[in-house]
Structure 1
């Protein structure tokens, strides 16, 4: 092997001589053959035949079908479990069903009482148009606002009861505090168990729905309240002239 690398390829022997190339102190004596030429086999050992290398890499071909079938069965059993675990982690059904049912109940509760409050306000505002007392209009508006506030507090109580009867929170005080914070979208004051982690966002959704509904109704109330005051002021100004 003339000119082959010595010591990891750092230098090469000069062909046909046993002399070390420049920069190398000496070539080991066992690397110099009887002919005085560089012999790489003296350092690295004899080169194995190609057939011997292939024989070492052979494996039992009869075992290949069994390995393939085992791997396929493992993959087939693994895929459903992976999908099931992913769906369970992303969409846990127990808390979604629980929270969704309570959300629907809260919205229906809100719809029932908002209809009663609206009809009562419209009926009383019409009866006050023939009178010139502004304080009655102010009192009607204040009472209506207090009824809307009581409605939202009642919905917080509904969520508190759901948390208590569902064994999610330990006591009524903690349940009311937790439900009020989530209902008003302030955030979780403390963390629920992992299996109920979707309930707080659902409580927040119910609060957003309810407050949006109340806001739309309140806009109508304010508009009718201003109209009612204008009518009463007109009656009051026309009374001295008559």
Structure 2
């Protein structure tokens, strides 16, 4: 039987840290979505009741922009954490690496540039971002349902 080394414990601690980051990211994302959705529904119902359809359309696109900003804020927070822990050498490099892994676009190049001890980060971060994108899609569909209430009242375009 192989003895457990300090390196094994260090890798295990790093993995546990990444799992904690995964759960914190999911909670942060959920709270942001909850707030955005609550604000959207409160104002959208009022705009529809007052038949302010043009404002409702503008507000719908503002809601979609809020969803995108939530994801960008997560990339920003994770990039700062990555810079702090030595995943990247500069903030722009951290944004490219974390953004590539988070969106899974260009994650192969991003993972190749990571130090070997941080490569598990790609798996954990990609997994959490998939959940976040799916959750945001559900909220976007809910916003779309509310937005579609405007069209039958408004008539043909």
Tell me what 2:119 maps to: 197
Question: For 1:5-41, what per-residue CA distance to the aligned partner results, in whole angstroms no more than 9, with x for missing partners?
Answer: xxxxxxxxxxxxxxxxxxxxxxxxxxxxxxxxxxxxx
Tell me what 2:51 maps to: 132
> Displacement of 1:134 after TM fit?
2.2
Match of residue 143, structure 2, among 184, 201, 221: 221
Question: For 1:58-82, what per-residue CA distance to the aligned partner results, in whole angstroms no more than 9, with x for missing partners?
Answer: xxxxxxxxxxxxxxxxxxxxx233x
Query: Where do residues 140-179 of structure 1 align in structure 2 (5 Å cutoff)?
Result: 140-179=59-98
Q: TM-score, normalised by structure 1?
A: 0.58
> Displacement of 1:203 after TM fit?
1.2
**Paired residues, what number?**
152
Larger radius of gyration: 1
Could you list the structure 1 runs, at least 4 aligned residues long, displaced by more than 3 angstroms after superposition. Answer: none
> Displacement of 1:201 after TM fit?
1.2
Check if 1:211 corresponds to 2:133. Answer: yes
Tell me what 2:36 maps to: 117
> Displacement of 1:133 after TM fit?
3.2
Q: Secondary structure at the match of 2:87?
A: coil
Relative contact order, CA 8 A, sep 6+: which one is greater? 2
Moved more, 131-140 or 169-178: 131-140
Conservation of the 8 A alpha-carbon contact between 1:182 and 1:203: yes
Give RMSD over aligned pairs.
2.3
Check if 1:80 corresponds to 2:2. Answer: yes
Mind listing any 5+ residue stretches in structure 1 that lack a counterpart?
1-78, 235-242
